[in-house]
Chain A
Amino acid sequence: MTEWIQLGSLTAIPVRGARCVNTPSGKIAVFRTAEDQVYAIENRCPHKGGPLAEGIVHGTSVTCPLHNWVFDLQTGEAQGADEGSVRTYPVKVDGGVIYIAPDVLMAMAAE
């Protein structure tokens, strides 16, 4: 199997924050929660395309900076009354380093 791909160190992302990974077919937002859990989702709100990486992170959710839609980082589903979802991508942390599943980048490159 292909190796997981290294994105950077966990500490490169502020606690309760996010950073982007640029790929040929769009941005992936990588989040770090207050409890150091790491999640990756599509950096595009299905409502009006807001950059979710810029939102406020609380619990395992993020609030979109444009119109306050809230997404669960684990499932990518919009919370509350809003309906919609974003793609989620498998990531893992090992020894303080964040990795993304190799097929994600390959799939994105193929798109």
Chain B
Amino acid sequence: MEKLVVVGAGMASGRALEHIFEEAPGRFDVTLFGAEPRGNYNRLMLSPVLAGEKDYEQIITHDADWYRDHGVHTRFGETVTGIDRARKVVVSKNGETPYDKLIIATGSAPFIIPLPGKDLPGVMAFRDLDDVNRMVDVSKRAGSKAVVIGGGLLGLEAAAALNARGMEVVVLHLMGHVMERQLDPAAGYLLQRDLEARGIKVHCKAQTKAILGEERVEAVALEDGTVYGADIVVMAVGIRPETRIAVDAGLHVERGIVVNDQMVTSDPDVLALGECVEHEKIVYGLVAPLYDQAKILAKTLAKVDAAFRPVQTATQLKVTGVSVYSAGDFADAEDREEIVLRDANSGIYKRLVLKEDRVIGAVLYGETADGPWFFDMIRKGTDTRDMRDTLIFGQAYQGGAALDPMAAVAALPDDAEICGCNGVCKSAITGTIASKGLTDLDGVRAHTKASASCGSCTHLVEKLMAITLGDSYNPAAVKPMCPCTEHDHGTVRRLIVAKELKSIPAIMQELEWKTSCGCAKCRPALNYYLVAEWPGEYEDDNQSRFINERVHANIQKDGTYSVVPRMWGGMTNPKELRAIADVADKFAIPAVKVTGGQRIDLLGVRKEDLPGVWADLNAAGMVSGAAYAKGLRTVKTCVGSDWCRFGTQDSTGLGVRIEKFMWGAWTPAKLKMAVSGCPRNCAEATCKDIGVICVDSGYDIHFAGAAGLDIKGTEVIGHANTEDEALEIIVALTQLYREQGHYLERIYKWAKRVGNDSIKAAIIDDLDKRKYYYDRFVYSQQFAQVDPWEERVNGKDAHEFAAMAEFGLPVAAE
């Protein structure tokens, strides 16, 4: 018999031995080395063991009887420390063992981040049964806490299992969403939501700084200053192929031990398989391809022709009660199409990526029963043309008669409840459509309240309208925000509040967006709605902002920028003017212009110079004028009673006060104001978004003017007797606009849409409401009044202002 030595007793080698005994019975005398003091077991099932759902005996794949029956000499707990290929022996603590053929199946080692404190007792990986036993021991202590570093497959399984054991668990994940290698952001969002509902805290974009503790681990500190208490820290950030003995033996090793299609290494008598090998530059970490390798390796040893080919892999998270499935390639690309199904109420998200009518990738969340069916189509390259319309619904919907959703709705009885939120039945909707002559969804919502709350019945209401009105119903009368959604701005804003949606992925999931990451139209709008609705909670998404708001300057036609510092109420002084002159000289700024908003514009600043320009302006006490923002721009003033012989009030002082109170606020569209000291109106307050005309008896508050694409004089909303009252009205009015305006809708358009009466009712007639809106504005300002220039001078978003790489002629010509 030939001597076969196997180094490593993991899942790959266990499977390989089974195949070897089938393919070449009686041919090999096998010696099996394993570093762990036990035989082959199903490592994939460690999570259920950790969670207490299975015990170790249930996950053993090969027991003592099996090894004896097949004549395997087991050397468990004995690490192979070297291979002498010239003499064909392996070296371990008990001496040398000769081989004719050698299989290396050393698997992988967990990657331990080189953090301070990584060697403290209590810091562990999640790789083998010993790790599991250590974790279980700690979890038995009441109130024990775990921090899991890594929000990938393994980390989340560990977190869920420890949570099931009763521990308080925090997951720290470097990336923006969990399991980013297997899931797109939408599915990642759903998973995070479900985990958090179980009490697992998930902290994304977490940069771990250090593991703290004296004798053993006590806490984990993040770069952002957060500290989480921990009795154990589980590192699950990834694995790397365990190749040390192969490297020492002089075998060809890249990332893994390089093997050919026959699983043979650079030495013809040494084979390798599993997580330690690299085949055509790919290292596999999932079990399916490793089992394929086991099959091929056995055939090679049996001298049967066979070749391992790269394979598609599918992933399923093993967390009880959470269903996630991902397979294939689910990235967007030009030649690909996607079919997305979202059912917000049931927490279902399904996305198929197709190329030339064939499914190439699938992400399923919430309902994964069809995962294997889709995966089978991916592998087979099944042509889906004939089932395209119903493909996403899964296997059960194929082959039968086409479903006609319209007929289903028409067949509903008159008393069928359509809108569950408001208890509206079918006949109430059809009856009201007829009696009131309604033609659009908003009309139906206004008169019946159907679909006016959560919106989940909107599609039913629309079908009823189509049935009742026939061809005269034009669903396009609802003006969607953009092609990514069916919803209009108003609906989206209402639902953000009603459903407490606090992130862009949350909105896209719950409101069933048709694209996976929106477009340049909807993303800035959603970002604004979230900023306005959840001050202090929502973290602004810079990448969803237009360039001007991203770099806090205005892009010009040649790609340079203009910089406008604030001049409160249009007032300046010699110090500021000198600083502006100096900065223009220092940075060779080609144009300096006085703006229509009573301040100074520096035009033609190079992007990389922006932080330098801002630093100098900051040093002279100036902050960003937000001349680029959908937000508070300028408050123009005249000189008022300070200087003017006609001035009735201190218009300059009021303008400065308004601007200092309101700067930094984001609004649906730009917001320009003015305060004139008398009705001669030198500050041109009567064509502004909000204007004040001072009179002897106080302040007339104007709004809804326009002097751009449209020209429109303002309308008077009310009169204030004191400066304080004037400020309160202006602030409350702005807040109402912030909460009701559609993105990019100026005040005059908003007022026209909602009606001046409703605005007056809230701001002038009802003092409680005025106070309510005033207070909400004041609350949000504490998060808004941060000078974005100063932040960037201090290093924020530094990547925006420097090239990624520079290549001069010599380098490029090499």
Contacts and interface: CB of A to CB of B under 8 A. Distances in A.
B543 A21 contact: no
Interface stretch (B108-116, B552-560, B767-775): B552-560
26 contacts: A7-B804, A12-B799, A19-B803, A20-B803, A21-B804, A33-B332, A34-B516, A34-B517, A49-B557, A49-B559, A54-B555, A55-B547, A56-B523, A56-B524, A56-B544, A58-B519, A58-B523, A60-B331, A60-B332, A63-B519, A65-B547, A68-B520, A72-B334, A106-B812, A109-B807, A110-B813
Interface string B527-560: 0000000000000001111110011000101110
A30 interface: yes
B812 A108 contact: yes
Nearest to A105: B812
Interface in A7-50: 7-8, 12-17, 19-24, 27, 30, 33-37, 48-50
Contacts of A77: 334
Contacts of B77: none
B807 A105 contact: yes
A24 to B, nearest CB: 5
B808 A24 contact: yes
Contacts of B551: 54
Contacts of B180: 36
Interface in A46-79: 48-51, 54-61, 63, 65-66, 68, 70, 72, 74-75, 77
Interface string B304-339: 000000000000000000000000001111110000
B711 interface: no
Q: For the complex of A and B, list the 8 residue pairs with the smallest distance between their C-beta atoms, beginning with the closest.
A: A109-B812, A63-B520, A19-B804, A54-B547, A56-B520, A105-B812, A16-B543, A74-B334
Contacts of B366: none
A13 B806 CA distance: 15
A24 B523 CA distance: 35
Given A20-B804, A56-B523, 9 more contacts: A12-B804, A16-B517, A21-B804, A51-B559, A54-B551, A55-B520, A58-B523, A59-B519, A61-B519
B197 interface: no
Given A34-B517, A35-B332, A37-B331, A21 B555 contact: no
Given A105-B812, A109-B812, A22 B805 contact: yes
B184 interface: yes
B52 interface: no
B125 to A, nearest CB: 21
B515 interface: yes
Chain B contact-residue range equals 35 or more
Contacts, number: 120
Interface of A: 5, 7-8, 12-17, 19-24, 27, 30, 33-37, 48-51, 54-61, 63, 65-66, 68, 70, 72, 74-75, 77, 105-106, 108-110
B569 interface: no
A14 B545 CA distance: 13
Given A22-B803, A22-B806, A17 B543 contact: yes
A58 B551 CA distance: 19
B26 interface: no
Contacts of B64: none
Interface in B204-228: none
A50 to B, nearest CB: 7
Contacts of B333: 37, 60, 74
B594 interface: no
A10 to B, nearest CB: 11
B555 A65 contact: yes
B625 to A, nearest CB: 20
Contact of B807 (A23, A33, A48, A63): A23
A14 B809 contact: no
B475 interface: no
B1 interface: no
Contact of B799 (A14, A54, A108): A14
B372 interface: no
A109 B809 contact: yes
B543 A57 contact: yes
B518 interface: yes
A34 B184 contact: yes
A59 B184 CA distance: 11
A55 B524 CA distance: 12
Nearest to B555: A65
A74 B336 CA distance: 11
Contacts of A56: 519-520, 523-524, 543-546
Nearest to A104: B812
B66 to A, nearest CB: 40
A5 to B, nearest CB: 8
B408 interface: no
B405 to A, nearest CB: 28
Given A7-B804, A22-B805, A34-B516, A13 B547 contact: no
Contacts of A72: 334
Nearest to A77: B334
B811 interface: yes
Interface string B177-212: 000100011000000000000000000000000000
A58 B517 contact: yes
Contact of A59 (B516, B547, B806): B516
A60 B331 CA distance: 9
A26 B180 CA distance: 34
Nearest to B550: A54
Q: Which residue among A30, A56, A110 has the maximum number of chain B CB atoms within 10 Å of its CB?
A: A56
Nearest to A48: B557
Given A35-B331, A48-B557, A74-B333, A21 B803 contact: yes
A52 to B, nearest CB: 10
B176 interface: yes
A29 B334 CA distance: 18
A56 B546 CA distance: 7
Contacts of B543: 14-17, 56-57
A59 B521 CA distance: 13
Given A58-B523, A74-B334, A23 B812 contact: yes
Given A56-B520, A72-B334, A13 B555 contact: no
A35 B518 CA distance: 13
